[in-house]
Structure 1
Amino acid sequence: MWIICDETIVGGMTALAPTRNEPDLSFLLDRTSHVLRTQMAAALADIGLTARMHCVLVHALEAERTQAQLAELGDMDKTTMVVTVDALEKAGLAERKPSSTDRRARIISVTPAGAKLAARSAEIVDGVHRDALGSLPKAERESLLRALNHLVDGHLATAVEAAPARRARQ
């Protein structure tokens, strides 16, 4: 449903809201992403992990990676990464070790218990994704994935750095 214009009262005068000519892609992507993240969080909570913990474990198992490299892969800031690794260490799922290539850097090494839990969490994540995509007819699912991959590899491949919006003084 498209609303072409909406009358509102602004400063005692009637104003027309701007005409929306394009679908609200930001809302659609944000909303689906938000709901998918909440489903993922609930599913992973059943085994005592967060999505960030899952991300660190899986990427640390793929190759020897530093905390900084894992933070970048998981789109985490430094503080969030430290808190996440602290939680993994406390649970006995990972540990910090010196890097074999850079003695100043610390890598995240996954323990056998962490590797076992990472395998389980990967199954859970795959299931959440499968359920979401499975709610679409096959042709739409394939089209959606092609389109999203095209955006990720093309027009939306690089984020634009912008200054945070400042709130007006009150």
Structure 2
Amino acid sequence: MAPSRAEPDLSFLLDRTSHVLRTRMAAALAEIGLTARMHCVLVHAIEEERTQAQLAELGDMDKTTMVVTVDALEEAGLAERRPSSVDRRARIIALTEKGREMARRSQEVVDGVHRAALGSLPAEDAKALLQALDRLVEGHLSTPVEAPPVARRARQ
């Protein structure tokens, strides 16, 4: 017999809504030829001069994923690797004019997905949800803790 739950399953609720939101985001961005990672790099690279490593950290991407993402942006004519104007040893990711336009378009797409999700709630519930999530992100759930690695089975 399964144990009875003493608290709502917050992990499930957050994981499920996050998963579905990511799939909707991916589908909406795919309509304009981007991935969520590409969008992330575009919007952070347009804000200020940033290196590939800085953009990877902002987007929570490993080095390999970042290289593949920037390669795709370069192939699409949206970004290019250039020497930094501040530190000639560093290389930054600079957006082309086409990349700047795509960053604007992709942000509109992302805003639309978020607006649709929040718009499915009564206004006061949407406001309360955002306030509660902000409090968690800034407070109790602001910092991840070290956890033991998850054992994975070898592929067969």
Q: Into which bin does the TM-score normalised by the smaller protein fall?
A: over 0.9
- Which residue number in structure 2 is paired with residue 127 of structure 1? 112
Relative distance call for 1:74 and 1:168 in structure 2 (3 A) is closer
Structure 2 counterparts to residues 10-89 of structure 1, below 5 A: 17-89=2-74
TM-score (normalised: structure 2): 0.94
Read off the aligned partner of 1:158 and give its amino acid letter: T
In structure 2, the gaps of 5 or more residues are none
Q: Give the Cα separation in 2 of the matches to 1:42 and 1:67.
A: 25
Give runs of ≥4 in structure 1 deviating > 4 Å. none
Q: Give the Cα separation in 1 of the matches to 2:140 and 2:21.
A: 23
Q: Deviations over 1:44-94 (max 9, x none)?
A: 101100011011001100000111111111111111111100000011000
Give the C-alpha shift of residue 146 in structure 1. 0.2
Give the C-alpha shift of residue 108 in structure 1. 0.4
- Deviating more after overlay: 54-63 vs 155-164: 155-164
- Which residue number in structure 1 is paired with residue 129 of structure 2? 144
Q: CA RMSD in A?
A: 1.3
Equivalent of 1:97 in 82, 85, 104:
82
Read off the aligned partner of 2:146 and give its amino acid letter: E
- Deviating more after overlay: 83-92 vs 152-161: 152-161
- Percent identical pairs in the alignment equals 75
Q: Which has the higher helix share?
A: 2
Read off the aligned partner of 1:101 and give its amino acid letter: V
In structure 1, the gaps of 5 or more residues are 1-6, 8-16
Q: Deviations over 1:9-38 (max 9, x none)?
A: xxxxxxxx2221111111100100000000
- Bigger Rg over Cα: 1
Give the C-alpha shift of residue 142 in structure 1. 0.5
- Which residue number in structure 1 is paired with residue 103 of structure 2? 118
Give the C-alpha shift of residue 98 in structure 1. 1.1
Question: How many matched pairs?
Answer: 154
Give the C-alpha shift of residue 168 in structure 1. 7.2
Q: Give the Cα separation in 2 of the matches to 1:167 and 1:138.
A: 43
Q: Give the Cα separation in 2 of the matches to 1:34 and 1:101.
A: 39
- Deviating more after overlay: 145-154 vs 160-169: 160-169
